[in-house]
Amino acid sequence: MSEITFLEAIREGITEEMERDENVFCLGEDIGAFGGAFKVTDGLHARFGDSRVIDTPIAEAGIVGAAAGAAHYGMRPVVEMQFIDFVSCAYDMLTNYVATARYRAFLPCPIVVRGPSGGYVRGGPFHSQNPEAAFLHTPGLKIAYPATAEDAKGMIKAAIRDDDPVLFFEHKYLYRRIKGTMPPGDHVVPLGVARTAREGTHLSIITYAATVWKSLEAAELLAAEGISVEVIDLRTLLPLDDSAIVATVKKTNRVLVVHEDTVTGGVGGEITARINELCFEWLDAPVRRVAAHDVPLPYAPPLEDFVLPQTSDIVRACRWLAAY
Amino acid sequence: MSEITFLEAIREGITEEMERDENVFCLGEDIGAFGGAFKVTDGLHARFGDSRVIDTPIAEAGIVGAAAGAAHYGMRPVVEMQFIDFVSCAYDMLTNYVATARYRAFLPCPIVVRGPSGGYVRGGPFHSQNPEAAFLHTPGLKIAYPATAEDAKGMIKAAIRDDDPVLFFEHKYLYRRIKGTMPPGDHVVPLGVARTAREGTHLSIITYAATVWKSLEAAELLAAEGISVEVIDLRTLLPLDDSAIVATVKKTNRVLVVHEDTVTGGVGGEITARINELCFEWLDAPVRRVAAHDVPLPYAPPLEDFVLPQTSDIVRACRWLAAY
Amino acid sequence: MATPDLNASASHGLTREQLLALYRWMRLTRTLEERLVALYRQTKVVGGLFRSLGQEGCAVGSAFALERRDVLSPLLRNLGSMLVKGAEPVEILRQYMAKGDSPTRGRELNIHFGDVEERNFVGQISHLGDMVPVMAGVTLTFKIRGEDRVGLVYVGDGATSTGAFHEGINFAAVQRCPLVVIVENNGYAYSTPTFRQTAARQFIDKAIGYGIPGVRADGNDVLDAYRVTRDAVDNARQGGGVTLIEMLTYRRRGHAEHDNQSYVQPGEIERWAATNDPIDRYVARLTGELGFTTAEVEGVDEEVRTVVDTATDQAEASPPCDGPDALRGVYVEPAAMPRLWYREGVASAVDAHERPESWGTHDV
Amino acid sequence: MATPDLNASASHGLTREQLLALYRWMRLTRTLEERLVALYRQTKVVGGLFRSLGQEGCAVGSAFALERRDVLSPLLRNLGSMLVKGAEPVEILRQYMAKGDSPTRGRELNIHFGDVEERNFVGQISHLGDMVPVMAGVTLTFKIRGEDRVGLVYVGDGATSTGAFHEGINFAAVQRCPLVVIVENNGYAYSTPTFRQTAARQFIDKAIGYGIPGVRADGNDVLDAYRVTRDAVDNARQGGGVTLIEMLTYRRRGHAEHDNQSYVQPGEIERWAATNDPIDRYVARLTGELGFTTAEVEGVDEEVRTVVDTATDQAEASPPCDGPDALRGVYVEPAAMPRLWYREGVASAVDAHERPESWGTHDV
Ligand SMILES: Cc1ncc(C[n+]2csc(CCOP(=O)(O)OP(=O)(O)O)c2C)c(N)n1
Ligand SMILES: Cc1ncc(C[n+]2csc(CCOP(=O)(O)OP(=O)(O)O)c2C)c(N)n1
Ligand SMILES: [Mg+2]
Ligand SMILES: [Mg+2]
């Protein structure tokens, strides 16, 4: 078994699910013969044809709504946002229609809305977003955000099989930089379960997506200084894996939350609140956050670098926390 | 000076600003001769005419976008959402276009988007929402959410004068139930400054909007038990008044965050994180949250009552915190 | 008077039973809504009451063109279409009274409910326009699967201004989904007259911009509403794609019962009531050219009254909702959300000492 | 050859200087974009490069119909219109190279910038359709104030599918805002051909649904683009409200430079290049019926080359952005967002030991 990229892993996952279940189909802008802006669906149109890989007009609310309608009648739509930044155009449809369908009307709505997210790529304010926090207070949705190629495959498969709607964020920085060897067989990684990306004893970093890699890099650097850092990759943000969070807090007693989204209103707040509620007594230091500065993400490299959290930031923050 | 309702206070504030500055104008659905679904703009059309009180088509993104364009060219638009639940339809326009205008293009965008929010009114899932948390991670926006009639007037005036975009939430339960006597003269309440709604010594409730009143009711009940509760009314959620939060934590060392929005992903997480960061050492107990259960808000009275935070919940939570 | 031979063109190929059924659905709609008004006045309705008075012809005539396997997406003023599609009066009453055995178990209000298993109507949400993309997806499914099923979605004149309407109808048009879109033009969106909603002369002028046929119907003539919809449904069924239908009608009550319609020109409502009521018009037609007796018509009225009476008794006897049920059914897994920490072991959410009406009487 | 009398109808009332200016703006657009391609290949452009090759006629001709006080809202393929409206080549180059003195100080990319103070063009965002409501509001302002100013907004064929387009144009139409909406139909939205975007036969078919006039222009005939836009602008200025213009053109390059256009039929691009290039066509016209000499045309080419050369030198010499400037200007107050706690006193955000390209090489 050879290594494949994060992007190829997603494609492999979608392909396998389309083979397994004829109700799975893809829709989105330019995903057909063209294979999508990032080529995630490359080859699917040739393989599965016009009615299972559908090129749509530019209409995010329309596409998501159509996916919901199809899902009510037994389909399993996988919707691509060309960039996840455009999911904002479907915000009403997702939070009001899709998320509530089961609760208010007993309507099954198993859709996946996926797309390239995240920064560090000089994409500017509208091609670099991390909108996960905007959906965190929407009961009825699930939010997945994998960091490894293995998880990308296993979680997209889990998302497609999930009986409820899943937002699936694919960090575009990882698409071609991260590789992995897929476990054999039907590799499904359940949603809602976090992963220990690195074991450690002095302090814990709780993070997800691209900053998992920055955190691992920081942990490596800190190891040389004698600071042992545990890195928890949340993988799913809704539902959050409380038990994994509690376990690492009880182990190291010091927590740094790291994410790429802006600090104010980001997922870090929710994690901090849960730690307070579930294991406050175990804390030897305040929970602290390393995240983006509170500005729209600018485009020029020196500006983007300044705004986003960097490995050196994590290193400094960990030193502070270890010394607390 | 006689008492007026929360709703009349908002109308008075808008009217005064329209008189003061001819660039201020209102737009929204049914706000003209009809005066709006809740009658907030009642009489304004008769007084200011067609071009300053504009009935629009049903098009929230269109209206907010139009307001932004007008604001770039010197106007001061005040947009009504018939119910704030429909602001989700303008989510893209607000978070991507409006919020970033100044930063990315040096475009002034002084608009106010206001509307009736909140539950406890048997409005069901689409006429009861508290969408403030969805905008909290959007740098460039301000979020105001007054609890008293005096603040409703003073803050709408501040919002209209603000040189940046402001989301102004008006809790519909308060519209006609809450009254106040307006201070004389040009009564402007600055955004970003919290208010101590009640002094106390044993513990602090940090809250905003309708739950300010539930918290005050709880504080009154607890006083009889000898528990002295301080109630902080945040008034503005973006920017948060960190100094007021820190001051009350240092005073009472115990904090309960109370809000009406669902607990997961609500503003409570951000507040908890800030307390951890700014004054962790002063905490004698974990920061805890009382908020809505994580479900879409149902309509039937027993269900709505069950989901939303009630006075008795706050009382119980305070007892727990005081005994910690 | 002898029953004349039914003129096939006057009856649009409908049987005698069907012709009388059309009347029954309109009458049932009106009688049921009148009962709701009575219950509303007795404060037994939770929340607002939304009437379709004067619009029963649109809803009933159009839905009558569907088969049971076809899917309907109604809006607030389409109670009649839901009845045609199989909704029971008792379901409507329980919904409005927020009963524990209502179709949504108290989660959603008024006629916001559906049944995609058997009767095939979809539970709407409040956000106008959103059902158009949803129905595009429902009918896309039928197209993909080669199922012989059609969808019908309504929007008001006001809802045509929404982006969701535009995105949905365009998507369906491009995909040639078997979908019929009805613009129910009742002159107003809440207080806003149509000329403030669009500068178009008529709503069917929008059809050409989506590359689909646009047809107008007299919405207050239930047979015309039926005929035009049936043709569009047939066309969709044969692979002809989307049709936009504009039905002309008039909203004789306010947006909801509390709306006093101050914005309506004096005499306008009365004129429509006197000269263009869909039920009156159809009764005249039934007892005129269609050859029914007054007794037949009155028999329906009588039967409908009994149905509504029985349903009312049933609904009134229905149990209220049970608080903790609020936590169930957000996801398949977990089946229920957990109680929050301060609610553990608490029997009733709202204590006796809660006095929300007293808010604001405390010193600030 | 003697200069013939200019035929007023052939020149649409433009002076000789204006006729030559049209050529200059098209040539400047193309030369500037060609320079950007060179810089892109040298990896001096940060991010993608978006060409308007073959579409220069639309952008230039339409913008030429505006006065300085009028407001333009361009899109990615409207570089030409920005130049006409006063954008400087050096600004474009600095934007693409993300320089510290670029119009957005490095905040936004490519031609996403504006100037509402003097030259009157508005900085666009990526989200398609959003500028239509914004321009509805800009022109509503002019209407409210009685200012003699008009707005012009472009959308692509693809962007017409967005809800924002629909909500914005409908709002403007109802309000009779002095706005011109141009659909630049270049055959594709990224890889998606027009027939997958809409089932309408032509985009002007959408106009009637908004109750506004719809006019078609040959977008590759700069004079036709000018004439049709000017008429719509005049109409808007005289209180006639919104016009929808469809300009037919063709996108000869990919969506961005990296797109290899695998989805295009063989020969299609070459055919357009050979027979329907807006610059070639206009040169033929200039040196033909309009009576310009080849020397005059070449003189423009020469001048434009110099302008672009100078601008390139200037832009290359421009300073890069300064990291901490990223925190300034989100709000009027505070003027800058605070540095986060772990950045206090830190000189450079990215340390020497950062190796983002190494991500994933650590053990997981
Ligand atoms: C997106 C959205 N905006 C605003 C509203 C509030 N609202 C509810 S009904 C209504 C008027 C609807 O008019 P129309 O579409 O003509 O339907 P009618 O009530 O006349 O049948 C409005 C503005 C809403 N439900 N959804
Ligand atoms: C709302 C939204 N969805 C998706 C995109 C991604 N996107 C950028 S350009 C483009 C194609 C645009 O086509 P068209 O409108 O025809 O303009 P053209 O590039 O042909 O000038 C797409 C899909 C976007 N920018 N905005
Ligand atoms: Mg209407
Ligand atoms: Mg195009």
Residue nearest to atom 11 of ligand 2 (CA): D189
pLDDT exceeds cutoff 90 at B162: yes
Q: Does the C-beta of A38 come closer than 6 Å to ligand 2?
A: no
- C-beta separation of A249 from A255 below 8 A: yes
DSSP result, D75-114: -TT-HHHHHHTT--HHHHHHHHTTBTTSTTTTSS-TT---
**What pLDDT is attached to residue B143?**
98
Q: Which residue of A has its CA nearest to D97?
A: A300
- ipTM attached to this prediction: 0.97
The CATH number assigned to the domain holding B304 equals 3.40.50.920
Q: Over 90: is that where the pLDDT of C359 sits?
A: no
Q: What is the pLDDT of residues C45-69, one digit of tens each?
A: 998 999 999 999 999 999 999 999 9
B169 Cβ below 6 A of ligand 1:
no
pLDDT band at C23 (very low <50, low <70, confident <90, very high): very high
Q: What is the pLDDT of residues B289-313, one digit of tens each?
A: 999 999 999 999 999 999 999 999 9
Q: Does A285 touch chain D (CB under 8 A)?
A: no
Q: Quick check: is A219 in a domain?
A: yes
One-letter amino acid at A272 equals T
Length of chain C counted residue by residue: 364
Q: Say which ligand is closest to the CA of C156.
A: 1
Tens digit of each residue's pLDDT (9 = 90 or more) over D111-120: 999 999 999 9
What share of chain D in percent tops pLDDT 70? 94
Which residue from C minimizes the CA distance to D159?
C167
Q: What is the pLDDT of residues A98-119, one digit of tens each?
A: 999 999 999 999 999 999 999 9
* DSSP assignments along D323-362, one per residue: GGGGGB-SSSSSSBPPPPGGGTT-S-SS-TT--GGGTT-S
Residues B144 and B261 in one domain: no
Torsion of CA C262, C263, C267, C268, to 10 degrees: -140
pLDDT exceeds 60 at position C360: no
Judge whether B102 is closer than 8 Å to chain D, CB to CB.
yes
Q: Greatest CA separation found in chain D? A: 79
Which chains border B (3 or more CB–CB pairs < 8 Å)?
Answer: A, C, D
| D20's tokens | 């030559």
| The domain boundary residue, chosen from B123, B156, B180 | B180
D53 in ligand 2 pocket by Cβ < 6 Å?
A: no
User: Do A28 and A172 fall within a single domain?
Assistant: yes
- Judge whether A307 lies within some domain: yes
A178 touches chain D (CB under 8 A): yes
pLDDT of residue D4: 45
pLDDT value of position D361: 36
How many CB atoms are closer than 10 A to CB D173? 25
Q: Has residue A34 been placed in a domain?
A: yes
Domain count, chain B: 2
- For residue C186 and ligand 1, the question of a CB distance below 6 A is answered with yes
Among A134, A151, A180, the domain boundary falls at A180
Closest in A95, A277, A296 to B286, CB measured? A277
Ligand 1 geometric centre to CA of C104 (Å) = 22
| Chain D contact probe: residue of C166, C181, C244 with most D CBs at under 10 A | C166
- Region class of A43: left (phi > 0), else alpha (psi between -120 and 50), else beta: left
How far is the centre of ligand 4, averaged over its atoms, from the C-alpha of D35 (Å)? Answer: 23
In a domain, B188, yes or no: no
Catalytic-role residue among B45, B72, B127, B293: B127
Tell me the C-alpha distance between B92 and D168, whole Å. Answer: 14
A310 and A220 housed in the same domain? yes
Cβ of B117 less than 6 Å from ligand 1: no
Which residue from D minimizes the CA distance to C130?
A: D163
Closest chain A residue to the Cα of D348, Cα to Cα: A306
Same domain, A132 and A44: yes
In chain B, the residue whose alpha carbon lies closest to the alpha carbon of C105 is B300
Token pair, residue C241, equals 């794609």
Chains B, C: CB pairs < 8 Å: 187
Q: Is the CB of D251 under 6 A from ligand 2?
A: yes
**Mapping DSSP to helix (H, G, I), strand (E, B) and coil, where does residue C310 land?**
helix
Render pLDDT for D131-158 as a digit per residue (tens, 0 to 9): 999 999 999 999 999 999 999 999 999 9
Partner C, chain B 17-76, Cβ-Cβ below 8 Å: 29-30, 32-34, 37, 55-59, 61-62
Q: Compute, in angstroms, the gap from residue B63 CA to the centroid of ligand 1.
A: 15
Do residue A202 and residue A170 come from a single domain? no
CB B312 within 8 Å of CB B130:
no
Band (C364; pLDDT cuts 50, 70, 90): very low
**Which ligand places an atom closest to the C-alpha of B58?**
1
| Averaged pLDDT, D64-86 | 97
Is residue A305 in a domain? yes
pLDDT for residue C95 is more than 50: yes
CB contact under 8 A, A75 and C144: yes
Band of the pLDDT at C97, cuts 50, 70, 90? very high
- Do the chains contact at B291 and C128, CB–CB below 8 Å? no
Cβ-defined contact of A104 to C135 (cutoff 8 Å): no
Whether D237 has its CB under 8 Å from any CB of chain C: the answer is: no
B49 and B173 assigned to the same domain: yes
Residue B121's pLDDT is: 95
Beta bridge partners of B144: B168, B236
For D164-185, write each residue's pLDDT tens digit.
999 999 999 999 999 999 999 9
Nearest to B180 by CA among B158, B211, B154, B209: B154
**Is it the case that residue A1 has pLDDT exceeding 70?**
no
Report how far ligand 2's centroid is from the alpha carbon of D190 (Å): 7
Q: Whose CA is nearest to atom 19 of ligand 2?
A: D189
Same domain membership, residue B157 and residue B24: yes
Q: Is residue D7 over pLDDT 80?
A: no
Assign D153 to helix, strand or coil.
strand
Question: Taking 70 as the threshold, does the pLDDT of residue C210 lie above it?
Answer: yes
In a domain, A187, yes or no: no
Q: Count of CB atoms within 10 A of residue B299's CB? A: 29
Q: Is pTM beyond 0.95 here?
A: yes
In a domain, A273, yes or no: yes
Q: What is the pLDDT of residues A173-198, one digit of tens each?
A: 999 999 999 999 999 999 999 999 99
Domain assignment present for A189: no
pLDDT in tens, A193-241: 999 999 999 999 999 999 999 999 999 999 999 999 999 999 999 999 9
Q: Does one domain contain both B158 and B301?
A: no
Contacts of A85 in chain B (CB under 8 A): 96
| Ligand 1 binding pocket mutation candidate from C81, C128, C198 (most atoms within 8 A of CB) | C128
The residue behind tokens 């149902």 is: B298
Q: Give the DSSP letter string of C234-248.
A: HHHHTT---EEEEEE
The rounded distance, in Å, linking the Cα atoms of A157 and A168 is 11
Ligand 2 atom closest to the Cα of residue D160 is 15
* Residues of A annotated as part of the active site: 127
Instruction: Verify that B83 and B220 share a domain, yes or no.
Output: no
Per-residue pLDDT of D46-61, as tens digits, reads 989 999 999 999 999 9
Contact residues on chain A for D325, CB-CB shorter than 8 A: 303
**Same domain as B143, residue B244:** no
List the domain range (segments joined by +) for residue B28: 4-180
In chain C, beta strands by DSSP E: 71-73, 151-156, 179-185, 188-189, 192-193, 214-218, 243-248
Sign of the CA dihedral B220, B226, B227, B232? positive
Cα of D340 to nearest chain B Cα, Å: 11
Q: Work out which ligand 1 atom sits closest to the CA atom of C77.
A: 21
**C-alpha C187 – ligand 3 centre gap (Å):** 6
DSSP A254-287: -EEEEEEEESTTSHHHHHHHHHHHHHGGG-SS--
Per residue in B170-200, pLDDT (tens digit) is 999 999 999 999 999 999 999 999 999 999 9
Q: How many cross-chain Cβ pairs, A to C, lie less than 8 Å apart?
A: 138
Query: Identity (one letter) of the amino acid at D324?
Result: P
D254 lines ligand 2 (CB under 6 A): no
* Ligand 2 midpoint to CA C82 (Å): 39
Using the 3D structure, point to which of B145, B180, B215 is the last residue of a domain. B180
Structure tokens at B113: 């988007």
Chain B residues touching C161 at Cβ < 8 A: 57-59, 62
Each residue's pLDDT tens digit, D312-342? 999 999 999 999 999 999 999 999 999 999 9
**Per-residue pLDDT reduced to its tens digit, C255-309:** 998 899 999 999 999 999 999 999 999 999 999 999 999 999 999 999 999 999 9
Q: A151 and A229 in one domain?
A: no
Paired tokens of B298 = 């149902």
CATH number at residue B19: 3.40.50.970
Residues B277, B253 share a domain: yes
- Please judge whether A290 and D263 are an interchain contact, meaning their C-beta atoms are less than 8 angstroms apart: no
The tokens describing D200, both together, are 């309408």
